[in-house]
Amino acid sequence: MRVNQVDACFHKVARAVCFHCVNMDETQAEIRTWTSKNFGDEDPIGIIVLGLVEEIGELARCYVKQEQGIRGTTAQWEMEMKKEIGDILIKLHDVADRSGFLLSDCFYERWDDVKQRDFTVDKNGHGMPESDSNG
C-alpha cells in the first residue's frame, strides 16, 4: 500500500514539474470551455461516447486505407493518423470531464495496475501472477 501512495505522489509531482509534456488537467479544462461554447452542455454522455467511437473509426479508416495503398500515400495517411489520434484525445478528455473524472487520474490509476502485467510470462491470461489474475 505504501508503494502505491509513493507512486501516486510521484505522478503528481512529475506532472507539476514536467515542462516538456502537456498538463492534462489544464487541457481538460480548456476542452471543457471549448465544448461548452461550441456545443453546449446538453448532450448526454452517450452521445459524447459515440463521438469518441466515431473518431476511433476515423483512425481505423486511416490504417485500412494505408494498408490497402489507396486514396493517398503512406505519408498522407500518417498525417491523417496523427490528426485522428489528436481528435481521439480531445474527445476522451470530454468523456472523462462529463463523467466527473480527470483524465490524468484515470490514466495514472489504471497505468499503475497495467504496468505490473507481464504477458511474456502469462500469454493466455491477464499477464498477472496466478494469485492476482482472479481479482
Domain residues for the domain of 73 are 2-114
Flag whether 40 is in a domain.
yes
Residues 121-131 have pLDDT tens digits of 877 777 776 65
Q: If you average pLDDT over residues 115-125, what whole number do you get?
A: 83
SS3 per-residue string spanning 12-55? HHHHHHCCCCCCHHHHHHHHHHHHHHHHCCCCCHHHHHHHHHHH
By the 8 A CB rule, do 24 and 107 touch? yes
Alpha-carbon gap, residue 111 to 48, rounded angstroms:
24
Flag whether 123 is in a domain.
no
Flag whether 52 is in a domain.
yes
In the chain, the number of structural domains is 1
Flag whether 134 is in a domain.
no
Flag whether 120 is in a domain.
no
Query: What one-character DSSP code corresponds to residue 100?
Result: T
Residues 46-105 have pLDDT tens digits of 999 999 999 999 999 999 999 999 999 999 999 999 999 999 999 999 999 999 999 999
Flag whether 38 is in a domain.
yes
pLDDT at position 21 over 50? yes
Alpha-carbon gap, residue 53 to 41, rounded angstroms:
19
Kindly report the CATH number assigned to the domain that includes residue 21.
1.10.287
Q: How confident is the model at residue 1 (pLDDT cuts 50, 70, 90)?
A: very low
Flag whether 46 is in a domain.
yes
Flag whether 32 is in a domain.
yes
pLDDT at position 34 over 60? yes
